[in-house]
Every structure is written in C-alpha cells, then in structure tokens.
Amino acid sequence: MRILITGGAGFIGSHLIRLLLSKPQHSVLNLDTLTYAGNRTTLEEFNRNSNYQFQQLDLGLCSIDTLSEVLENFAPDWIMHLAAESHVDRSIDSPANFIRSNIIGTYHLLEASRRYFTGLNQTQRDSFRFLHVSTDEVYGSLSHEGLFSEESAYDPRSPYSASKASADHLVRAWHNTYQLPTLITNSSNSYGPNQYPEKLIPVVILHALCNQPIPIFGSGQNVRDWLYVEDHVAGLYRVIQKGQVGQSYNLGGENELTNIQLVHMICDQLDQLKPREDHTSYREQISFVADRPGHDHRYALDITKISKELGWRPQTDFTVGLELTIRWYLEHPDWLQDPDRLSG
C-alpha cells in the first residue's frame, strides 16, 4: 500500500511510520508542519529507508489545491490523519492554533481527499481508506463508574477536545454526504518512548531527574486510561486494514489510574532504576498546583467493538510499558538539549 501519513514527525505518528516501514510492501509519505513537538532525529532515521518520503506542510495554512497536487503525485491507497495540536493546556492559552490545525486542517485534507477519490477507478475506490485519529476527550467527563462506547454522545469540555470533536463530525459528514470511505478512532492517553515532555508521564520523569518539583493538578484524583503507543499504532493499522467504512472504534488501554497513583508508580520505578544521591524517594518532589480550568474527572473507553469485530486488544502490561518508557528517558538524557530535535 501507498500510505500518506499526516503528523508523522509527532509522537504517535512516528511510531506508526516505524511500524509501517517494518513491512516492505508499504510506501509512506509523511506530511508534517514540524512544530515544537516534531522530532527531526526520527525523520533522519526514516530517511534511510527508500520506501519513505517527507514533505513539510501545514494543513491548516496550505490551500486545498496544494494538497490535491500532493495526493495526485503520491497516489495514496490509504490516508492516516494524525496531524493535530493535542495539549489541553496549550489549547486553553492559545485556542486559535487548535481551530486552525484540528478543524481547518482536517477540512482541507478531506476536500483534497474527496477530489482525489472522485478521480479513482472503481478498483482503486474499493481499496481507498481515510482514517482520522481522534481522542476519548470528545466524549467529555465520566463519573466514577461507566465507560464511553462508540455510541456515547459528544460533550467536549476544552478548546482541544472541542476542536477534535469538530473534526470528527466533519469526517462523518464527508462520508455521509460524499461517500468518502472514512474511519475514526478515539483513543485513550498514549504513552511511551520519545513523547514530547508536556504530557504527564514525561513531565514527571524529567522533573524528577532534574530535581524539580513534580506538578500535580488539584488533588491528583483525576482518572485516565493509559495505552502504550505500540499497542495504539497496532490498533490503527488493524482499523485501516479491516475496519468497516463509516464506523468509529475506541482504542483503550484498560489501565485506569488516578494521576497521583501514576506519579507514585513513576517515582517508585525511578527509585529503583536511578536512585537519588541522598537515597530519598522521588515522591518528595511531588507538588500540588492549582487545578486546570474545566479539568475532566475521568476518561475510560469500552473496547468491546474493536475486540469483537477486529480482534484487537492492548498487549502491553502497564508496569512493563512504564518501565520501558522510563528506561528510554534514562538512556536519552540529552533529548531535550538536542537543538536539532525541535523545528525552531
């Protein structure tokens, strides 16, 4: 397959490309604007593969004509759309960037894809797929019980989740109105190696290692479900291969933890893997800070549909995945200080 990936220099996108390039039958074109979270070192790794191409492009700023030309030249069988602004705190401070990237960027890509799809012959149409990668945050906040299913009503609470919900609705509209063969995944919190250190797990690891206060919103009782990134991208691959056109699929890790439970686990593993010089626990660096505005209490996904229909389930035990993640950061102490890692 010829596969166009958007956002392939980011955390999940880079792991997805690595999975796809491990299969010699696939060719990949990566479209990425290279924001602060774009990893250029990863791109250098991919550039050594003859089945990989890269083009720097901002979906929210480029024209539909430009995107149409890219699609015509590459002639993808599949489009996997991961490009997005994704950090809730940044969306609260600068919502305009999220509107441009997540909503306008998705619209531009859908329109260019519709034009491209219209020009395909019937055999090509039958195999073409457009996968939109979304989040569990579009469903809003859960109380202490229950799970979000694919039928749950949308109730986004932050500029980030509202922008992703908007993009989900656009994707469904382009399927229903124009018969574009789309699929949507909504996933829980991904974690793993080389995640940009604004998300909770790398923030805790790096603050701990730098002997800085480890910030915890509120009382730390907010609950999140954690999905190892390699399980996530395996799920994306399964959905675009075997998913039913027009459907959405929840990808959850079935690893619910309060934030404070998670931070304690990270501190305890660091105590074993890299003890502090004074042999005290990293837990002593924990610092509770003012809660995030509109902080959702709990996210949790029902993965019955994808498990029964597509045979996917997360494979990585959370304790194992967390240790792999921590070890990666310990083995890459200069990751943040590498000036070539960031786009500018």
Active-site residue numbers? Answer: 136-137, 160
How far apart are alpha carbons 193 and 119 in whole angstroms?
40
Closest CA to 323 of 190, 188, 192: 192
85 contacts: CB under 8 Å, gap ≥ 6: 35, 91, 97, 98, 101, 102, 160, 163
| Number of neighbouring beta carbons within 10 Å of residue 143 | 7
Cross-strand pairs, 202 = none
* C-beta separation of 102 from 161 below 8 A: no
Report the SS3 class of residue 141: coil
* C-beta separation of 301 from 188 below 8 A: yes
Place of tokens 């604004």: 198
Q: What is the DSSP letter of 115?
A: H
Tokens of 320: 């194992």
Query: What stretches of 210-315 show up as alpha helix (H) in DSSP?
Result: 229-242, 259-273, 304-310
